[in-house]
Structure 1
Amino acid sequence: MADVTTGEKLLFLTDEQLRQGIEAMFFAYRGFTADPDRILASMAYGRAHHRAIHFINRAPGTTVNNLLVLLGVTKQSLNRVLRTLIEDGLVESRVGKADKRERHLYLTDAGHELERKLSDAQRARMRAAYRAAGPQAVAGFRQVLEAMMDAEMRRKYHAIKENGA
């Protein structure tokens, strides 16, 4: 329980208000992914491909193991995704210089182009929503999202946010 003397205040929400928030997250996620899903469907790709492309773009040279941790998927699942992206010329895998067992991932020019299309669609939706909500709501929204992350994910999020790694 929060200590009132430290300035913390409790926010009491009813179960119904929490359910409405959960439902809003579900529907917002559908909207957020709808545009990229349409682009990906034309290429027989799914959201796992999108997520891989996004994080490879954010941290060029990231290792397969790092991507496994970021995406929270099985090695088998990631290997299927990476195999198609590499075969289709969107991702390049390079052997590590310091450790030959490591594979470092980079987007090709075609991969950058696809990433731009996918991100442009999501940025347009986010920009419109942020403008409609206003700066205070945007700051509050980010606080809520970060508060929902467990500590390890929040650490990874801040590392990516700060230096793209």
Structure 2
Amino acid sequence: MTAGEQLDKLEIKSSDIDYVVTSHLDCDHADGLRQFKDAMVARSEYEYAKKYLYIRFKKKWWDGMDLNLYDWNDNQGPFGRSYDLLGDKSIELINIPGHTAGLVATKITNSDGKYFLYYEDGGYGEKSWKDMVTSGISMDKSAQKESLEWIRKESLDPNCVRSLACHGIEEKTEVFKF
């Protein structure tokens, strides 16, 4: 189901969305961005994707779009590269390279220090980080393992109320509040 279809199902208009963060530029994450204005992507991911056009990425997925490229402005995560979206550490886009160079996990932290971790293609669900199973597609297997170890540590932290992957078989569309 596309992002637009999921928003329709939840009766949310794309114009109601303040930020659209693209975890990385693989087709299943980037194809469909045109329905949103100023989608955000890490500059390192954009530069990486441009190097591998026609091998793994297609320029048409984002060509002509006003992508909002951002550079790391904080030091969270396994490689000390993150982007503090609101400037208050409540939403951190954390670089978890391996699958792609600029892949980010999103960590949303409430005022009590509890957080939700959405680690996209950093793993394929809970089984990935429990058994340390990396995904089949990798630009850097060593970095991917280090990122997965970080996901495991974060997911097991008592302050983590939920962690999710994008493609886990146990995942379903849901509205999550904490």
* TM-score, normalised by the number of residues in structure 2: 0.28
Whichever of the two has the greater Rg, that structure is 1
Question: Could you say which structure has the higher helix fraction?
Answer: 1
Question: Could you say which structure has the higher strand fraction?
Answer: 2
